[in-house]
Structure 1
Amino acid sequence: MKRSIAVIAMSVVMLTTFTSMQQDVSAANSSVVTRGHIENGVNLRDKPSLSGRVIGLLKKGSDVTVLERSNDYFYKVQSGDGSIGYVSASDKYISVGETAATPTPSPQGASAVVKYGVNFRDEPSASGRVLGMLRKGSAVTVLERSNNYFYKVLTESGQIGYVSTSDKYLEIGGTVPGPTPTVPVPSVPTPSPAPAPGAPSISERIESVIRTGQKYLGTPYEFGSDRSTTTSFDCSDFVRQAYREALDIVLPADSRKQGQWVRDNGTAVYDIGSLKRGDLVFFMEYRGSSPSAYQGVDVNNERITHVSIYLGDGQLLHTYSAKSGGVRVDKFDGSWKHRFLYGGSVLK
Structure 2
Amino acid sequence: MKKSIVIALLGAILLSSYTALPNQAAASATTAVQSETKGFIESGVNFRDKPSLSGRVIGFLKKGSEVIVLAESNPYFYKVKTQNGTIGYVSSADNYISVTASTDAPAAPGQSLPATVIYGVNLRNLPSTSGDVVAMLRQGTQLTILEKSNAYFYKVRTTDGKLGYVTTADKYLEIGGQAAAPAPVPVPSPAPAPEATPVSQQIEQVIQTGMKYLGTPYEYSSDRNTTATFDCSDFVRQAFKEAVNLVLPADSRGQGDWIKNKGTAVYSISSLKRGDLVFFMSYKGSSASAYAGIDKANERITHVAIYLGNGQLLHTYSTQSGGVKISKLEGSWVNRFLFGGSVIQ
TM-score using structure 1 length? 0.52
- Alpha-carbon displacement from aligned partner over 1:85-124 (angstroms, at most 9, x marks no partner): 6755767547xxxx875339xxxxxxxxxxxxxxxxxxxx
Contact 1:77-1:87 at 8 Å conserved across structures: no
- Supply the distance in 1 between the matched residues of 2:227 and 2:303 (Cα, whole angstroms): 19
- Alpha-carbon displacement from aligned partner over 1:38-58 (angstroms, at most 9, x marks no partner): 36xx233689xx779967466
Verify: 1:102 aligned to 2:177, yes or no.
Answer: yes
- Supply the distance in 2 between the matched residues of 1:203 and 1:53 (Cα, whole angstroms): 17
Q: Which residue of 2 aligns with 1:64?
A: 140
Q: Cα distance, 1:226 vs. partner?
A: 1.3
Q: Cα distance, 1:306 vs. partner?
A: 0.2
Check 1:82–1:235 CA distance in 2 against 1; reply closer, same or farther (3 A cut): same
Which of 213, 235, 243 matches 2:232?
Answer: 235
Check 1:89–1:346 CA distance in 2 against 1; reply closer, same or farther (3 A cut): closer
Which of 252, 261, 268 matches 1:271?
Answer: 268
Q: Which residue of 2 aligns with 1:332?
A: 329
Check 1:52–1:259 CA distance in 2 against 1; reply closer, same or farther (3 A cut): closer
- Within-5 A mapping of 1:1-348: 38=119, 42-44=121-123, 56=133, 59=136, 62-66=138-142, 83=162, 87=166, 92-93=171-172, 101-103=176-178, 183=182, 198-348=195-345
Q: Cα distance, 1:245 vs. partner?
A: 2.0
SS of 2:267's partner is coil
Check 1:215–1:93 CA distance in 2 against 1; reply closer, same or farther (3 A cut): farther
Contact 1:44-1:54 at 8 Å conserved across structures: no
SS of 1:64's partner is coil
Contact 1:68-1:103 at 8 Å conserved across structures: no
- Supply the distance in 2 between the matched residues of 1:304 and 1:34 (Cα, whole angstroms): 43
SS of 2:141's partner is strand
What amino acid is aligned across from residue 203 of structure 2 in structure 1? I
- Alpha-carbon displacement from aligned partner over 1:217-242 (angstroms, at most 9, x marks no partner): 22211111111222211111111111
- Supply the distance in 2 between the matched residues of 1:51 and 1:277 (Cα, whole angstroms): 24
What amino acid is aligned across from residue 103 of structure 1 in structure 2? Q
In structure 2, the gaps of 5 or more residues are: 1-113, 186-192
Contact 1:220-1:326 at 8 Å conserved across structures: yes
- Supply the distance in 2 between the matched residues of 1:219 and 1:290 (Cα, whole angstroms): 30
What amino acid is aligned across from residue 178 of structure 2 in structure 1? P
Check 1:53–1:210 CA distance in 2 against 1; reply closer, same or farther (3 A cut): closer
Larger Rg: 1
Contact 1:284-1:302 at 8 Å conserved across structures: yes
Q: Cα distance, 1:321 vs. partner?
A: 0.9
Percentage of matched positions with identical amino acids: 55
Number of residue-to-residue matches in the alignment: 221
Check 1:219–1:78 CA distance in 2 against 1; reply closer, same or farther (3 A cut): farther
- Alpha-carbon displacement from aligned partner over 1:163-222 (angstroms, at most 9, x marks no partner): xxxxxxxxxxxxxxxxxx9649x9xxxxxxxxx971122222211211221122222111
What amino acid is aligned across from residue 140 of structure 2 in structure 1? V
Contact 1:43-1:55 at 8 Å conserved across structures: no
TM-score using structure 2 length? 0.53
- Supply the distance in 2 between the matched residues of 1:276 and 1:86 (Cα, whole angstroms): 29
- Supply the distance in 2 between the matched residues of 1:337 and 1:322 (Cα, whole angstroms): 21
In structure 1, the gaps of 5 or more residues are: 1-32, 105-180, 187-195
- Alpha-carbon displacement from aligned partner over 1:285-332 (angstroms, at most 9, x marks no partner): 011222222122221121110000101011101111111111111111
Q: Which residue of 2 aligns with 1:114?
A: none
SS of 1:310's partner is strand
SS of 1:330's partner is strand
Contact 1:68-1:100 at 8 Å conserved across structures: no
Q: Cα distance, 1:253 vs. partner?
A: 1.2
Contact 1:283-1:339 at 8 Å conserved across structures: yes
Q: Cα distance, 1:244 vs. partner?
A: 1.9
